[in-house]
Amino acid sequence: MTINTAGALPAGMSAVLARIDVIRSTAATPPFSVPSLAAASGVLNNASATAQDTLAAAGGAPTTSSSSSPSSAPGTSASSIVSGKAQVSAQSTDTALPDWAASLPTNAQRWVPTIVSESKAAGIDPRLTAAVMWSESGFRPDARSGAGAIGLMQLMPSTAAALGADPSVPEQNIHAGVKYLASNLRRFGSVELAAAAYNAGGGAVARYHGIPPYAETQNYVKVVMGKYHTLGGGA
């Protein structure tokens, strides 16, 4: 190791250099035994490591993996490890949501876990629930219709009351809306008819033996089905 002694030495460096000189002179003076030479060599190595640490602390050459601080894997910098942790964290967050959620608007993301859990509990495709909610309120919990429908799933107060829900509470609104959608799906056996019943009522679907001839309902079914397909449903 070559040490540049020009200028002021860092704190503790003079003592280190003095130790190295003493060790070198001792090792070079005969007679000496192999054990004493080995011991001197070990001390010299320790002194060299100390010198490198001292230089590093003073802004000189960086210390090697022999320093006491944790080291990364070969070829991996500390910054890349931190970056890797951030990537893992981001991936963990992303994988908490299903792939189809990426096709939803930004304001929908917070409701996806509830949509998934409530839909699975009711035995229906969460993508259908998301498509209905998207069509009904645009994922706005404060949405209100001219007819008096409330919240994310646009429940009429009477429907919400029959399902034991407070429609102004988003979680209860989703729970009741999913139950209502699931009951229509079981009753009519198709996604299109369940969507029609959600909009016009099950009585109208039963009376017309299909999608009622209402322009609003027919357009509503098309919108829901379009969003459902966008999310990968109905394939």
Q: Which residues are catalytic?
A: 136
DSSP string covering 146-189? TT--BTTTTB-HHHHHHTT--TTSHHHHHHHHHHHHHHHHHHH-
- Distance between CA 155 and CA 166 in Å, rounded? 10
User: Which amino acid appears at position 160 of this protein?
Assistant: A
3-state secondary structure 119-138: HHHHCCCHHHHHHHHHHHHC
Instruction: Please state, in angstroms and as integers, the Cα–Cα distance from residue 78 to each residue in 54, 59, 70, following that order.
Output: 21, 18, 10
